[in-house]
Amino acid sequence: MLQDQSQESQYWTQRYNQNRTGWDIGYISNPLKAYIDQLTDKTIKILIPGAGNAYEAEYLFQQGFTNVFVLDISPEPLDTFAKRVPDFPESQLLLDDFFTLKGNYDLILEQTFFCSFIPTDENRLAYVKQMADLLKSEGKLVGLWFDFPLTDDMEKRPFGGNKKLYLTYLQTHFEAQIFDKCYNSIPERQGNELFGIFEKK
């Protein structure tokens, strides 16, 4: 059974209220900035699910991308983002459950989202299927996955994994164009991230 989304909303809201956001580095990560900097079409429709404080969306918006959608299950980071980036279109801030979201996107950016779910096969396979359903034909899923051992501790979020494990899920709906150790991680995450570009099959 997929994790209860009302419980997930409460869980993440509590984390933000208690300022227990150790994954939040306070700015866009180097690998995603480098990827965004080589994009030329600023009209493409982009989704950032589980966006948290959404520094990626802020950067995209500053660079003139007009079709960026920020999704989170908790209202706290969305409210914070709206105050920090007041010109960002309110209609493109989505308070919703990723697993029931509808839409078609050219690009989805992944930043610690996959690793936030309780790591059951059901959750991880549902994530991959939903990513594929949300992408247009030849759409891309691009981002970062934590590369450290997955433990049995179900409270130790973010949850880890490795390249081989992630590919067992991702290859059901995606072709990997790149999926390797990240060379330009921030110092605190050096050696602990994989960067991937996946195209929908």
Position 192 confidence tier, pLDDT thresholds 50, 70, 90? confident
What is the average per-residue pLDDT within 127-137? 97
Question: To 5 degrees, how large is the angle CA 127–CA 139–CA 6?
Answer: 25
Confidence check: pLDDT of 191 > 80: no
Q: What are phi and psi of 199, to 5 degrees?
A: -105, 135
- For residue 98, count other CB atoms closer than 10 A to its CB: 21
Confidence check: pLDDT of 158 > 50: yes
Q: Give percent of the chain with pLDDT exceeding 70.
A: 83
What is the average per-residue pLDDT within 152-180? 88
The token duo for 94 is 């989505």
pLDDT for the residue numbered 16? 46
